[in-house]
Amino acid sequence: MIKHIPGGVCAATGFTAGGIHCGIRKNRSKRDLALIVSETPASAAAVYTKNLVKGAPLTVTKQHIADGYAKAVICNSGNANTCNADGIQVAEEMSRLVGEALGIAPTDVVVASTGVIGQPLDVTPIKEGIPALIESLSTDGSDTAAEGIMTTDTVKKEVAVEFTLDGKTCRLGGIAKGSGMIHPHMATMLVFITTDAAIAPQMLQKALSSDILDSFNMVSVDGDTSTNDMVTVLANGLAGNAEITAEGGDYTVFCQALAAVTTELCRMIAADGEGATKRLECLVTGAADTATAKTVAKSVICSSLLKAAMFGADANWGRVLCAIGYSGGAVDVNRVDVSFRSAKGTIPVCVSGAGIPFSEEIAKEILLEKEIDILIELNSGDATATAWGCDLTYDYVKINGDYRT
């Protein structure tokens, strides 16, 4: 059984976290620096953006966790430290400062940055903020850490679960930031996950690499794949279960717990998409294979036209069919059924690729809700997939029309 619990990245035994305003951002009420620390060495795994333009912190993190272990995560918001000539140097310096303050090796530090691309990141405010950052660490500091990594996010994103491995109670929790430039490809946004489960680094990496294919890689806010996407997991083993070193029952339970957290974070990221008023979830069933189901779900959730229609609560299912048609998936469009669903009910709008009569009034009532499911039955097999996204609104344009200034 997987039970939701509070605590975010501090839910697991042996983790503390904190966040402060150090001065990277001008707005003094906005935290811009976060730290997560494990009291013992933790197995570490990470996945990174597939964008060829990669933030310097990703390169440094990759080197630091090459040995499979880490003890701390530092992350600033307000500046992505990407496309800067001195990027690597700054990311290394951030690791060195944290290592020195915590008395650990700089190579045991995961480093991340998020914010505007292409403006040099001045390390001075971070350096001067380190004492206050260390001071902020506590077992209920997940909240402030989650705030410290936010950019255009309007809500902080934290989830944690409790589960049992080898008779021991384990906990796994995460925080995420992500609102715009969201169209992950093999990695995503910034997500930091901690657990006290004992799991060997290579199994942790396997679990994470597999999980993201169905979680973060199925989210899209705007079709733009960020340069700084990264998901990391630290597992310190303090729950006391026998270390997971191979596939089997314990590994399966661990993967389920991981999926419970990542899926919920996906929903939160989609709902908080830049300017979004609605969370969209596209559920594809009856596909010939999983690849087709995913391709279709992702194509529909990415359609600007459908996203704008959802903003207007307009049951324009022709745009769903259109997006299925250009998805690249091998679909028999004459078998496709489409329905819209929300807390108000479900309304079928298309059967066998053609429109059916439906009440526009009822459709409107369903689509005025904040959480809309787009149900697509391909009637061609048993494979399924889910993708998450949001509507396209005036505010998306407003937020992104003048982000830098």
**CA separation for the pair 258, 270 (Å, rounded):** 18
> 3: which 2 tokens?
């039970």
Active-site amino acid positions: 188
Minimal distance, residue 229 CB to its own copies, in Å: 10
Minimal distance, residue 21 CB to its own copies, in Å: 24
Is residue 293 a contact residue for its own copies (CB under 8 A)? Answer: no
Q: Output the DSSP codes for 73-103.
A: EEEEEEE---S-TTHHHHHHHHHHHHHHHHT
**CA separation for the pair 302, 283 (Å, rounded):** 14
- Residue in 205, 227, 292, 339 binding its own copies, rule: CB under 8 A: 227
Contact (CB, 8 A) for 79 and 53: no
- Region of 20-28, 153-161, 244-252, 316-324 interacting with its own copies (CB under 8 A): 316-324
Nearer to its own copies, 51 or 236 (CB): 51
- Residue in 18, 141, 180, 201 binding its own copies, rule: CB under 8 A: 180
- Taking residues 28 to 57 in sequence order and writing x for each that binds its own copies by CB under 8 A, - otherwise, the string is ----------------------xxxxx---
Report the number of secondary-structure helices (H) and strands (E) in the chain. 11, 15
Torsion, Cα 341 342 347 352, to 10 degrees, reads: -10
Minimal distance, residue 151 CB to its own copies, in Å: 13
Question: Using CB under 8 A, which residues numbered 85 to 144 contact its own copies?
Answer: 85, 116-120
- Residue in 309, 372, 376, 385 binding its own copies, rule: CB under 8 A: 309
Q: 3-class DSSP state for residue 335? A: helix
- Taking residues 364 to 403 in sequence order and writing x for each that binds its own copies by CB under 8 A, - otherwise, the string is ----------------------------xxx-xxxxxxxx
Residue whose structure tokens are 């992350």: 75
Distance, C-alpha 250 to centroid of its chain: 24
Contact (CB, 8 A) for 230 and 58: yes
Binding residues for its own copies (CB under 8 A) = 50-54, 80, 82-85, 116-120, 180-181, 183, 185, 222-227, 302-305, 308-309, 311-312, 314, 316-319, 321-326, 331, 333, 350, 353-355, 360, 392-394, 396-405
